[in-house]
């Protein structure tokens, strides 16, 4: 009987943890902290050789908007070389941003990363090299909670600005993305906790 109560209690704690983090991620997705900053960091998504995916295109469009509206002076596009591609995701992103009218000298590439944590850590090095102090992080709304925690841990002064035109619109597309973010967000928080022991 006692063992059963312990198991039920553990399950309840797990459910509350999952629910709390899910709500937190959803609530945070509505925060737009756009402000004047040195640079917009557009977090990578898939590209197919020199063509960006629809998800990455919408992130880039928001980064371009922030640039055109004067919020930022520079854009950092991120993403390494995916298996089977000739060009990095960042290279494809840079070409897209240039085609949309942003001068090449205002675009920098971070093209060695494969995950969000690397996107941000490598982008921070670019910021340091160019003496950029403030960044706006651009990604899909449900990605922002984890991205901002990673940006903080990378040592950035960063502000969240989720894309308003995310490709994850329907319940069918949002649910798997949200589940993935909950899993990785909780996993990263445990990783942060355990690395101090």
Would you state the pLDDT for residue 1? 67
The model's confidence at residue 170, banded by pLDDT at 50, 70 and 90, is confident
Rounded Cα gap, residues 145 and 27, in angstroms = 9
pLDDT digits over 56-97, tens only? 999 999 999 999 999 999 999 999 998 888 999 999 999 999
Instruction: Find the largest Cα–Cα distance for the chain.
Output: 69
Instruction: Report domain extents, the chain.
Output: 27-164+174-190
Task: Show the beta-strand stretches assigned E in 46-111.
Answer: 47-48, 51-52, 74-78, 107-110
What is the pTM assigned to this prediction? 0.92
Rounded Cα gap, residues 88 and 79, in angstroms = 6
pLDDT at residue 178 above 70?
Answer: yes
The CATH class that applies to domain 27-164+174-190 reads: alpha beta
């Amino acid at each position: 009987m006692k063992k059963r109560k312990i198991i039920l209690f553990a399950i309840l704690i797990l459910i509350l943890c999952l629910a709390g983090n899910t709500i937190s991620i959803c609530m945070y997705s509505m925060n737009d902290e756009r402000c004047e900053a040195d640079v917009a960091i557009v977090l990578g998504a898939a590209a197919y050789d020199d063509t960006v995916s629809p998800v990455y295109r919408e992130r880039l469009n928001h980064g371009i908007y922030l640039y055109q509206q004067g919020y930022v002076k520079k854009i950092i596009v991120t993403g390494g070389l995916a298996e089977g591609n000739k060009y990095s995701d960042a290279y494809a992103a840079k070409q897209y941003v240039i085609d949309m009218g942003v001068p090449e000298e205002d675009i920098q590439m971070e093209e060695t990363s494969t995950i969000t944590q690397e996107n941000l850590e490598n982008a921070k090095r670019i910021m340091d090299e160019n003496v950029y102090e403030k960044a706006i992080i651009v990604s899909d709304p449900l990605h922002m909670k984890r991205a901002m925690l990673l940006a903080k841990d990378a040592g950035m002064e960063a502000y969240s600005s989720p894309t308003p035109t995310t490709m994850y619109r329907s319940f069918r597309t949002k649910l798997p993305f949200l589940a993935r973010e909950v899993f990785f967000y909780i996993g990263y928080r445990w990783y942060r906790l355990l690395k101090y022991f």
